[in-house]
Amino acid sequence: MQKVLVVIGGSAEVIDTMVPYYRLSEDYHVVLAAPKRRTFYLVQHEHDPGWDITVESPGYTLASDIAFADVNPDEYIGLVLPGGRAPEFLRYDQHLLAIVRDFVIKGNPVASICHGIEILAMAGVIRGLEVTTIPPCRCDAESVGAIYVDAPLVVSENLFCCRFKRECAPWMKAFVAALTAQTERTTNRKQLP
């Protein structure tokens, strides 16, 4: 079974993380990667009309399977960067940035939602590409030369960017289609004489 890497960390958003985790687990071996192998607390973000910012409350816990330092990108066909506040801290992890660069350079599918764009921006892989994210992270994308598009799903080369958790269905559908195509290309290469 092909493997897909899903990044987690403290305060990763529940739906941004669990939707890809469960959807991808239907067809792939999902491996949860984090700065260390341990249990992380996820958070639930809600938009309350009385607040100017997102209201955050505790969500589930999720244990990582592997530390970023131990990841061999060649073992995976796809990468998911969930949102929440976790990317604010994860974007400084040099092992994670190397993983992201490897996936992008090799053309393997990379999915980002919400604050996940902060990791792509710090990795320096979105210059000149169209991307989307939540409006407050627009500056993270544009400050490194990406072209912000206010749309539910933006696909640029091998990047699949989504804004909000309510848009996870089309995001995952497009990402899974890319993973399927990646698997078929890999299988066809292996069958060549």
Q: Which of 93, 42, 35 is nearest to 64 (CA)?
A: 35
Active site residue 115: yes
Give the CA distances from residue 1 to residues 25, 37, 112, 170, 183, in Å, rounded to whole numbers and listed in that order: 10, 22, 23, 24, 10
What stretch of H or E contains 171?
helix 168-191
Q: Rounded to 5 degrees, what angle do the CA atoms 66, 64, 24 make? A: 95
State the catalytic residue, choosing from 29, 45, 47, 115.
115
Strand residues in the chain grouped as ranges (E): 3-7, 12-13, 29-34, 39-46, 55-63, 66-67, 78-81, 110-113, 130-131, 147-148, 153-156, 159-162
The catalytic site residues sit at 115
